[in-house]
């Protein structure tokens, strides 16, 4: 837990109580904006200045677009935002590749403002929606709040103004159900982040997923790679989905409903399905503002495949301006294209396995393919990624394993535990819709989640997506 997290714990209850006292929507928006700026400013005043500057600039660009939604004005807006993001996100790693000079030293030391990828994409979606002549008329205050809104500004979900604006304007009346659901989501999130941190740190020092990736180890065996790939897949999922549960829950305490970011992604039976269930707010952003407009330009199959690949490369590079993320995007693009080709071929020959066999088989293939891709996402360098992938595709390495047995056990138990929980949840929803947990038992569960997420994990890593 960091100083900033402690600030959230103190500031948000005060803001929640004050909001009850304010009658007008405008004063409530102002209080939410001040709260958001105080919390965001705790990460650095320079970051706050940049956020305010970007918000004012995008609001002005929005006014221009509303007056006359021309392609030129849209491109101006896109260019300015991409330039801003590029300066902070892509210039520093690029500068490291250039010959050393005082300029490259300055560029390489530019600090990435927290959440810039998220709020820049929110700004872009606003401009693109205006170009499509959506009915959006935020006041300056509303737009500043949309850009800095405390639940979403750090690591998403990337929201659209059309979904938040009506909520900013509606009365502040969080119901008991909102509070209950909000607390539930926060506790689920805390518990998930604790599980993610357990995978990252391992049961013994240096023997978790992160410790192994960060070591100089080279002699991997096949089972090791699958343990690391699946383990990191779950670490990332527990960490990011846990964070998302916390922010969605915290927003719900205030009566706001944010878009979901995850929908049981590891149950997907195709790569396409996976990308409608993992980091959904970014996935849908790329689908709506990049893939669909481009794919409409031509009807040929090769063009569709190229756009798919390009979209996934952008998805990868959105995380970080690094070659490994480009490769990760390409890999996901190839999976999607292969899946489309497979659909075409199987459709043409009308050859199908029984569904009872096909569904588990598709799930296994998708799960393994997605997990193997996490190697590109997590590896520290190209050499490590290819060393690992080589071990994964070399049959001779499958007769041994080199990682601690504890780690295999931990990954297996947590992965199996996740699938069992999802299964149990499904059965409960199906057969016992009206299950209510007594308040006392609910508080006991909250305590376990708070202990696991805050006290037990106090000294381990932070949220992974804060670095993007």
Which residues sit at the interface with another protein, rule CB under 8 A?
A: 1-3, 5-6, 205, 439-440, 442-444, 446-448, 450-452, 454-456, 458-459
Degrees, nearest 5: CA angle 52-57-60: 125
Minimum CB distance to another protein smaller for 60 or for 444: 444
Q: What is the three-class DSSP state of 96?
A: coil
Minimum CB distance to another protein smaller for 194 or for 308: 194
CA separation for the pair 60, 82 (Å, rounded): 16
Which residues, other chains included, contact 226 with Cβ-Cβ below 8 Å and sequence gap of 6+? 368, 371, 392
DSSP 460: S
Residue 349 CB, shortest distance to another protein, in Å, is 56
CB atoms under 10 Å from CB of 84, counted, come to: 19
Residue 445 CB, shortest distance to another protein, in Å, is 8
Q: If we measure between CA atoms, which residue out of 124, 111, 150, 402 comes closest to residue 254?
A: 150
Residue 431 CB, shortest distance to another protein, in Å, is 28
CA distances from residue 461 to 116, 206, 415, 456 in whole angstroms, order as listed:
21, 13, 20, 12
Minimum CB distance to another protein smaller for 34 or for 454: 454
Minimum CB distance to another protein smaller for 364 or for 447: 447
CA 355 to chain centre: 32
* Angle (deg, nearest 10), helices 222-253 and 382-392: 120
Residue 227 CB, shortest distance to another protein, in Å, is 23
Minimum CB distance to another protein smaller for 426 or for 456: 456
CA separation for the pair 75, 131 (Å, rounded): 10
**Phi (first) and psi of residue 297, to 5 degrees:** -65, -35
Minimum CB distance to another protein smaller for 5 or for 49: 5
Residue 8 CB, shortest distance to another protein, in Å, is 11
Minimum CB distance to another protein smaller for 16 or for 363: 16
CA separation for the pair 312, 244 (Å, rounded): 22
- Which tokens in the block code for residue 123? 């700004």
Instruction: List b or e across 268-300, with b for residues whose CB sees 16 or more CB atoms inside 10 angstroms.
Output: bbbbebbbebbbbbbbbbbeebbbeebbeeeee
Residue 451 CB, shortest distance to another protein, in Å, is 4
Cβ 162 vs Cβ 134: under 8 Å: yes
Instruction: List b or e across 408-436, with b for residues whose CB sees 16 or more CB atoms inside 10 angstroms.
Output: bebbeebbeebeeeeeeeeeeeeeeeeee
Minimum CB distance to another protein smaller for 82 or for 445: 445
Minimum CB distance to another protein smaller for 33 or for 449: 449
Place of tokens 């989640």: 449
CB-based burial label for 371 (10 Å; 0-12, 13-18, 19+): buried
Minimum CB distance to another protein smaller for 157 or for 404: 404
Minimum CB distance to another protein smaller for 419 or for 455: 455
CB-based burial label for 356 (10 Å; 0-12, 13-18, 19+): exposed
Residue 151 CB, shortest distance to another protein, in Å, is 20
32 half-sphere exposure, CB direction, 13 A CA radius: 31
Residue 458 CB, shortest distance to another protein, in Å, is 6
């Amino acid at each position: 837990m960091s100083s900033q997290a402690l600030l959230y714990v103190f500031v948000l209850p005060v803001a929640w109580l004050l909001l009850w006292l304010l009658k007008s929507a405008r004063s409530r928006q102002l209080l939410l904006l001040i709260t958001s700026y105080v919390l965001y400013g705790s990460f650095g005043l320079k970051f706050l200045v940049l956020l305010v500057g970007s918000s004012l600039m995008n609001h002005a660009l929005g006014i221009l677009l509303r007056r006359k939604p021309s392609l030129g004005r849209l491109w101006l807006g896109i260019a300015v935002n991409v330039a801003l993001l590029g300066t902070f996100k892509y210039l520093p790693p690029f500068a490291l590749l250039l010959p050393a000079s005082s300029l490259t030293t300055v560029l390489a030391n530019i600090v990435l403002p927290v959440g810039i990828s998220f709020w820049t994409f929110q700004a872009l979606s606003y401009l693109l929606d205006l170009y499509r002549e959506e009915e959006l008329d935020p006041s300056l205050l509303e737009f500043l709040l949309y850009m800095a809104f405390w639940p979403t500004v750090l690591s998403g979900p990337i929201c659209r103004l059309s979904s938040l604006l009506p909520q900013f304007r509606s009365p502040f009346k969080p119901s008991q159900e909102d509070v209950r659901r909000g607390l539930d989501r926060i506790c689920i999130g805390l518990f998930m982040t604790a599980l993610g941190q357990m995978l990252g740190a391992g049961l013994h020092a240096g023997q978790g997923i992160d410790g192994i990736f960060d070591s100089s180890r080279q002699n991997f065996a096949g089972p090791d790679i699958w343990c690391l790939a699946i383990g990191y897949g779950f670490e990332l999922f527990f960490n990011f989905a846990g964070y998302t549960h916390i922010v969605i829950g915290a927003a719900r305490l205030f009566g706001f409903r944010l878009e979901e970011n995850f929908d049981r992604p590891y149950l997907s039976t195709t790569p396409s399905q996976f990308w409608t269930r993992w980091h959904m707010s970014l996935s849908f952003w790329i689908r709506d503002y990049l893939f669909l407009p481009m794919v409409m330009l031509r009807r040929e199959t090769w063009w569709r495949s190229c756009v798919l690949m390009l979209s996934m490369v952008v998805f990868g590079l959105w995380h970080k301006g690094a070659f490994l993320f480009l490769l990760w995007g390409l890999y996901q693009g190839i999976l999607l294209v292969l899946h489309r080709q497979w659909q075409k071929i199987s459709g043409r020959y009308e050859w199908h396995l029984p569904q009872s066999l096909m569904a588990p088989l598709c799930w296994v293939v998708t799960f393994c393919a997605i997990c193997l891709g996490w190697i590109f996402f997590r590896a520290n360098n190209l050499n490590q990624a290819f060393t690992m992938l080589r071990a994964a595709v070399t049959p001779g390495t499958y007769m041994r394993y080199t990682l601690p047995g504890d780690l295999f056990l931990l990954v297996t138990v947590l992965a199996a535990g996740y699938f069992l929980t999802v299964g149990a949840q499904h059965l409960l929803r199906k057969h016992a819709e009206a299950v209510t947990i007594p308040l006392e038992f609910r508080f006991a569960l909250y305590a376990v989640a708070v202990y696991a997420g805050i006290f037990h994990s106090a000294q381990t890593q932070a949220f992974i997506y804060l670095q993007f």
